[in-house]
Structure 1
Amino acid sequence: MSDTTLQLGIIGGYLVLSLLIGLLAYRLTDRTAEDYYLASRTFGTVVLLFTTFATLLSAFTFFGGPNVAYGSGPEWILVMGLMDGVLFAVLWYVVGYKQWLLGREHGYVTLGEMLGDRFGSPALRGLVAAISLFWLFPYVMLQQVGAGTALEALTGGDISYAVGAGLVTVFIIAYVVLSGMRGIAWTDTLQGAFMLVMVWAATLWALTEFGGISAATAGMAESNPEFLSLGGVPYSPQWMLSQAIGIAFGVAMFPQVNQRFFVARSKKVLKRTFSLWPILVVLLFVPAFMLGAWARGLPIDVPENGNVLPIVLSEYAPAWFAALVIAGAMAAMMSSSDSMLLSGSSYFTRDLYRPFVNPNASDSWEDTLGRIGVAVFAIAAFVASLYTPGTIMTIGSTAFGGFAQLALPVIVALYWKRVTRTGMFVGLLGSQVFYLASVFLPFVPDTYGGWLASVVGMLLGLVLTVSVSAVTAAAPSEETDLYFDLHAD
């Protein structure tokens, strides 16, 4: 049996297993929008922890993060493994618990729905959905880019980029359309555990081939001695804090993560989950990113915009083991893509279609439309990935920063009664316009005194939201007490 046949057999078997889990979940899923999007808010600790874990830790974990560590050193672990593990856990409590209470009491499915109700504004609801879908699209595309490049590198070009990305897209559409949130959570639990095991297996295998930790570190130090010191380029304090803040706050506003704040079965489940989160994050990021840094001391050739992990595996691991690790990477990509597609569909159906096209749509029609939306969104992202693949790091960091602009106005609204509809509009639009300009207009700076534009934009959004709210009055349709008249457990 050829190496390519063996590799494709392993990866194909994994894809089929995910589809079978989706079919099982389909048999247990009600034909209602709430069950399709939120599994009727029934998740326990293990499923909620691993579905959030697998949803977040995408192609970036297996490819983008190790690439950064390979190019700039292992300090990236401090940004992702420690800072964001802790920062996001705090945000899970600050934002997630309040959202969980509101969702339980009022039946909210999306962030836009929750904000639109509070401020009596379908336009605000639509704006939040439009912003979210705009930034979600390139991140879905990122997963397909990762799948295509991984399979192409693993098979030495026998499977082309387009075929690899298309294959994964078809399987994701199949099981997401069938199973909804319940099936996604079940496959995420499998995928999260699998990718955690495989990244450790890959690291331990590689260290054995490198001659152990000491030899691997010595090779890295000989090649790039600056990797052993703190604070080198690009790891200035401002850069590291900007990355950590932008990513953590952006994660809290990612639709696929934000919706998981609604699905816990109880307050106890929610608290257990965010308490365990930092531990799980560190367990994944440390070996993945150190493997990228250690690879700098190896005699390998990583092309520009190439991914270091598949190249290391092709040089130092047998074909069957490399295929298992790439299957773990595929698990990471699929577990992000499936949730993004489902969340993107819910934002479209509930926040755009219902308010502006068909307010009287039945629940069963919304359920059907949501499934159609998953397929359309996935196919569009796949087509875009063929023409504008970009680099995983650029697409990922851009999307995180875009979502981060939503965070501070939302947090202020959750905890300050005085926020007005006008303040929310100005804060959200002002920060988005500023950030978009920094990303797409070459004459607009993307750093300010070492701080990235994503963090500067967040502060701008906060200042605009608070200051405009302070000088404007609430509209008659606003429900200023909605977020405060709650019955906590």
Structure 2
Amino acid sequence: MLVALVALVVFPLGVSGGGADAELVAADREMAYPVLMARLLPAGLLGLLFASLLAAFMSTVDTHLNWGASYLTHDLYRRFVAPDASQSRLVWVSRLSVMLLTAMGVVVASRIDSIEQAWRLFIALGAGLGLPSMLRWFWWRANAWTEIAGIVAAVSSALVLYPLFPDARDEYLLLAIVAIATASALLATWLTPPVPDAHLEAFTRRVRPPGWWRDLPGAAPRRAMGWLGIAWLSGNAGVYALLFGIGGLLLGSPVPGALLVLGGLVGLWGAFRGSEAFRMASAPR
């Protein structure tokens, strides 16, 4: 946020002049960050920041490659394809998974022209995966295929809808992706066998989840869902209020900014109190 504000001061919108740097930033506002790096930082700090950005990029890439390979190897291949696979075979599967994920990343990256497009795709995938991923914490019927179907549907629909409708509003595309992913997850849930009762009971005894668990031992009372909902709403309201409140203070709107910051703190306090009440309501009797 601070770097963006500096960019607006150094390269004001709609103001001509300022040399090649200003023309570059005017043509592509996402170039403001590297242009400011080159203009404002001395040689030592510029190299340090550039190296830190490369390190952050590489750490993110290798984390997701290893993370994704472990999912494909243990949660997909070993569980559904070859439960008795040897360790040497699993190692080879993980290596092939890394290569596959790298190739997929290159293909997706080659189709993205800006950070804005990357964020749009990322938000679309997260929106499509949200409901299928949450079902396993509240509903006994959800299984592994619930999330697998949701993931495949979200990724496929996002890769199809965004290139097919480049001028459509983001909220419409997000709504379509959520609907497709949720419907696919629910369909896969009902078409596949449920999780064995022994696994469900072990899960409820350990996690004590609220929701719909067929009165399995250890499940939290359904009334605890109310406190969980209060904590969730208060937390979201608090985070957004703090976000816009701090922005208002930085942009010279002290009164609305201070009120939003105060409301954000109240929202976070409500989230804490709601989570404490949920913990008490779901505690073993």
Note if 1:344 corresponds to 2:56.
Answer: no
**Contact 1:439–1:446 (Cα < 8 Å) also in 2:** no
Q: d(CA) in 2 for partners of 1:403 and 1:367? A: 29
Query: What pairs up with 1:45-56 in 2 under 5 angstroms?
Result: none
1:345–1:428: structure 2 CA closer, same or farther, 3 Å change rule? closer
Q: d(CA) in 1 for partners of 2:108 and 2:141? A: 43
Q: d(CA) in 2 for partners of 1:473 and 1:382? A: 31
Q: CA deviation at 1:446?
A: 3.9
Residue 393 (structure 1) aligned to one of 100, 116, 136: 116
Query: What pairs up with 1:25-64 in 2 under 5 angstroms?
Result: none
Q: CA deviation at 1:479?
A: 2.2
Q: CA deviation at 1:483?
A: 4.0
1:438–1:324: structure 2 CA closer, same or farther, 3 Å change rule? same
Deviations 1:68-117 (A, max 9, x none): xxxxxxxxxxxxxxxxxxxxxxxxxxxxxxxxxxxxxxxxxxxxxxxxxx
1:456–1:293: structure 2 CA closer, same or farther, 3 Å change rule? farther
Note if 1:291 corresponds to 2:15.
Answer: no
Structure 2 length as normaliser, TM-score? 0.52
Query: What pairs up with 1:467-478 in 2 under 5 angstroms?
Result: 475=193, 478=195
Q: d(CA) in 2 for partners of 1:371 and 1:409? A: 28
| Structure 1 residue aligned with 2:43 | 319
Which residue type is aligned with residue 63 of structure 2?
Answer: S
Q: d(CA) in 2 for partners of 1:399 and 1:418? A: 28
Q: CA deviation at 1:324?
A: 0.8
Q: d(CA) in 1 for partners of 2:105 and 2:179? A: 34
Q: d(CA) in 1 for partners of 2:108 and 2:179? A: 32
SS in 1 for 2:196: coil
| Structure 1 residue aligned with 2:33 | 309
Structure 1 length as normaliser, TM-score? 0.33
| Structure 1 residue aligned with 2:137 | 414
**Contact 1:404–1:458 (Cα < 8 Å) also in 2:** yes
1:432–1:416: structure 2 CA closer, same or farther, 3 Å change rule? same
1:371–1:419: structure 2 CA closer, same or farther, 3 Å change rule? closer
| Structure 2 residue aligned with 1:361 | 85
The answer to which of 389-398 and 339-348 deviates more is 389-398
| Structure 2 residue aligned with 1:479 | 196
Q: CA deviation at 1:323?
A: 1.0
- The runs of 5 or more residues in structure 2 that have no matched partner are 11-17, 208-285
Identity of aligned residues (%): 21
Looking at CA atoms only, which structure, 1 or 2, has the larger radius of gyration? 2
Query: What pairs up with 1:72-91 in 2 under 5 angstroms?
Result: none
Residue 458 (structure 1) aligned to one of 175, 178, 199: 178
Deviations 1:263-309 (A, max 9, x none): xxxxxxxxxxxxxxxxxxxxxxxxxx221222122144224275322
Q: d(CA) in 1 for partners of 2:96 and 2:152? A: 30
Query: What pairs up with 1:67-466 in 2 under 5 angstroms?
Result: 289-298=1-10, 299=18, 300-301=21-22, 302=25, 303-304=27-28, 306-354=30-78, 358-367=82-91, 369-371=93-95, 373-374=97-98, 377-378=101-102, 380=103, 384=107, 388=111, 390-419=113-142, 434-442=157-165, 445-447=168-170, 451-458=171-178, 461-462=181-182
Q: CA deviation at 1:321?
A: 0.8
SS in 2 for 1:346: helix
Q: d(CA) in 2 for partners of 1:333 and 1:430? A: 28
**Contact 1:446–1:452 (Cα < 8 Å) also in 2:** yes
**Contact 1:417–1:480 (Cα < 8 Å) also in 2:** no
1:320–1:421: structure 2 CA closer, same or farther, 3 Å change rule? closer
Q: CA deviation at 1:408?
A: 0.7
- The runs of 5 or more residues in structure 1 that have no matched partner are 1-288
